Structure 1
């Protein structure tokens, strides 16, 4: 029986426009491809292994004509809105006390600060307080889809995999969780809605 639910953040609660950052930078500075070095820097930043200042400084070297505002605007334009019905859903679920609730997100300090600025600190804290624990990759120095982030959460929160459901929009993340014996739902943005969680046939029915 499911007793614990771990939710992703992006495209589960907050809508994302994943191609937007590359599109914005291409529009302003010309076509480019994300190099292995860029991806490594992005991953390191998500794991809290470099500061926001270091991250922006790196991209200033990549795009020497860009201002800091250009880079921050491009980095944040991936983030869209958090529909109110999803907020209401998680608040109601938390109030029911039927499950232990967790959030597990690959994210970074710039994105979180942007979300707080957009919705207000009060509303962000209200959302955060719906969860028993809030695991952000840059704070715990781990990231999906690596198995160690799931093992960390299971150990830290004292969770049993067979009693735990993980919800994420990325198939690679789902595959890792599934390999550890965690129940999973690969939510497809634009097709599925987290608010319909309990209409899923498994593992609740």
Structure 2
């Protein structure tokens, strides 16, 4: 029996265009990212470096990049947050049948954009019993430590949890710990259909 639902943020609630950042960077003659920058991306998602340091790493490798050009490229992945998904969560929260947790790989620059562009973000956040962002807790998916951290923080049993994420490696990592999962396909599935899509669990 499911007692806790753990939600990803990107492509579960907020719509993403994942190739958009590289499309934008192509405009500044950046065709691909070096291994060192890919590693820096992960460090930034874990909150191990500041936003200022993060921007400087990119400018060190690509001196033509102005800070605003980089941030606009970086944020191009973020499209919109349909309010009907927030309303779904708000109703779920009000019913109090499940513990609700958000668990997202993200970063300060993206969250700053969300705060500026999603007027109901704070109300959305308030619907959760816990709100975990990778850069604030220094863990990121799909590392086992992030799931173990959430389970320990709330004394949760894996078999009583459902984790919803659009990335296969993230749901596989959770599944390996005994957590039920829904690897949502954002082009044809929507989180508001949760109780139909995973009715066998409820």
TM-score normalised by length of structure 2:
0.97
Instruction: Give distance in 2, aligned partners of 1:153 and 1:204.
Output: 20
Instruction: Give distance in 2, aligned partners of 1:191 and 1:171.
Output: 15
Q: 1:196 matched to which residue of 2?
A: 193
- How do 1:19-58 residues align onto structure 2 when only pairs under 5 Å count? 19-26=19-26, 28-58=27-57
Q: Residue 176 of structure 1: which of 173, 177, 197 is its match?
A: 173
Q: Are 1:12 and 2:12 an aligned pair?
A: yes
Q: Is the 8 A contact 1:11 1:189 kept in 2?
A: yes
Deviations along 1:17-66, one digit per CA (max 9) or x if unpaired, are 0000001010x222522221111000000000000000001111122111
Instruction: Give distance in 1, aligned partners of 2:34 and 2:199.
Output: 40
In structure 1, stretches of 5+ residues that fail to align are none
Q: 1:105 matched to which residue of 2?
A: 104
Question: What's the CA shift for 1:201?
Answer: 4.1
Q: Are 1:61 and 2:63 an aligned pair?
A: no
TM-score normalised by length of structure 1:
0.96
Question: What's the CA shift for 1:204?
Answer: 2.6
Q: Is the 8 A contact 1:9 1:103 kept in 2?
A: yes
Q: Cα distance 1:17–1:8, how it changes in 2: closer, same or farther (>3 A)?
A: same
Instruction: Give distance in 1, aligned partners of 2:61 and 2:71.
Output: 14
Instruction: Give distance in 2, aligned partners of 1:82 and 1:119.
Output: 7
Q: Is the 8 A contact 1:18 1:78 kept in 2?
A: yes
- For the residue of structure 1 that corresponds to 2:124, the secondary structure is helix
Q: Are 1:158 and 2:155 an aligned pair?
A: yes
- Kindly report structure 1 stretches of 4+ aligned residues shifted beyond 4 Å: none
CA RMSD in angstroms, aligned pairs only: 1.0
In structure 2, stretches of 5+ residues that fail to align are none
Q: 1:133 matched to which residue of 2?
A: 130
Deviations along 1:56-91, one digit per CA (max 9) or x if unpaired, are 011111221111100000000100101111011000
Q: Residue 142 of structure 1: which of 127, 139, 142 is its match?
A: 139
Question: What's the CA shift for 1:151?
Answer: 0.3
